[in-house]
Amino acid sequence: MLVKTDKRKAHEGDVVELLEDYPKYNLAKGQRGIVITEFDEPAEAYDLEIEDKNGDFLGFAYSVKPEHLVNLSGGAIERGLKHLETGDVSAAMNEFEYAIELRPGLIEPIHNLLVSGFASVENWEGAVSCLHLLLEPNPAYEQVRDSLAIAYLNWGVQVAKQDNIDHAFFLFLRASGITSQTEINERIRANFAASYYKLGVQAFRTGDFQMTRHLMRIACSYYPSAAVRKNLAVACIREAHFCMANNKFEEAIDAFVEAETVGLVSPDFINDYAISLVFVGRLDDARRAFERALALSPNDAIIEANLNRLLHQEAAESFVKEEKRYDFVPVELVAQHMQNTATV
């Protein structure tokens, strides 16, 4: 047990040390053992399996009174908890490491205690510090490694929500190098994408459409979900319309093409794409684009009129743009839930 919910001095599995000689069992003060049975009736007492310094079996001690033993592993954990309460992480982890040395199986409940404690108050920075120290002597323990990655990830989400995106990127990168778990790495990539989405929206609000498109493209490279790809397409269309307004039709054509290749197909912007083609003299391509747009929306009078203008070779300035407004789809930062590995 990590946190006692009763007044017993020890529980099954705890490592204890005898405070009295037990000549009846040929055992001496200072010898250590493991609690194998605990009793409440007729009084609190414990059966112990005694080991020598090498961990070899020496014998049993029966009905040992609580005042005749000291709980080494449980005491170390209690001291560790007190150190955590005062913020002395290093001292706490020294105690936990000692407890694990005494009883290697304690790594699971200690891990669970740290995870549940820090997660309950969302102190991810503290979780990172403790889990690092827990992992150092136990580098092969995958659950600690996964939890450390999640702590970095959730810390990154926390600072990203405070608009400290550069720090968030650093923390996401640290998380990605720790674990091989597919679910965790997928969540890391999703939060990279969400952070780049935030940067993209910020760039859009300043009127930097080219940077918006670039950042949404990076988001898509990390996590090409439907929402993230939609946002890249929206950024492309927004930049394309900006380019059209500034007579940069080649750039507009490129942006329209990318919008369609990432999966957004709509007759209104295909109409505007066709107009851009008209302005650069690609009339056959423009005709095909108008026809394709009209096939998608047969009753669209604007597209039909534009196709007629093209067939009658009217001036490019006479064509009518749709310029439908597309909005970004919110992409949220999402923390990863931590899971315990054993019942504490």
Q: What is the structure's pLDDT at 342? A: 45
What is the length of the chain? 344
Q: What is the structure's pLDDT at 55? A: 79
Q: What is the structure's pLDDT at 204? A: 98
Q: Where are the domains of the chain?
A: 15-73, 198-318
Distance (Å) of CA 191 to CA 48, 204, 264? 51, 20, 23
The architecture in CATH of the region 15-73 reads Roll (2.30)
Q: Before 42, cis peptide (omega within 30)?
A: yes
Q: What is the structure's pLDDT at 2? A: 42
- 43 and 68 in contact (C-beta within 8 Å)? no
Q: What is the structure's pLDDT at 218? A: 98
* CA–CA dist 176, 173 (Å, integer): 5
Q: What is the structure's pLDDT at 58? A: 87
Mean pLDDT by 10 residues, the chain (344 residues): 58 91 88 92 91 85 92 93 89 92 89 90 92 88 94 98 97 94 96 98 98 98 98 98 98 98 96 98 98 97 98 97 95 89 45
Residue among 142, 151, 138 at smallest CA distance from 97: 138
CATH class of 198-318: mainly alpha
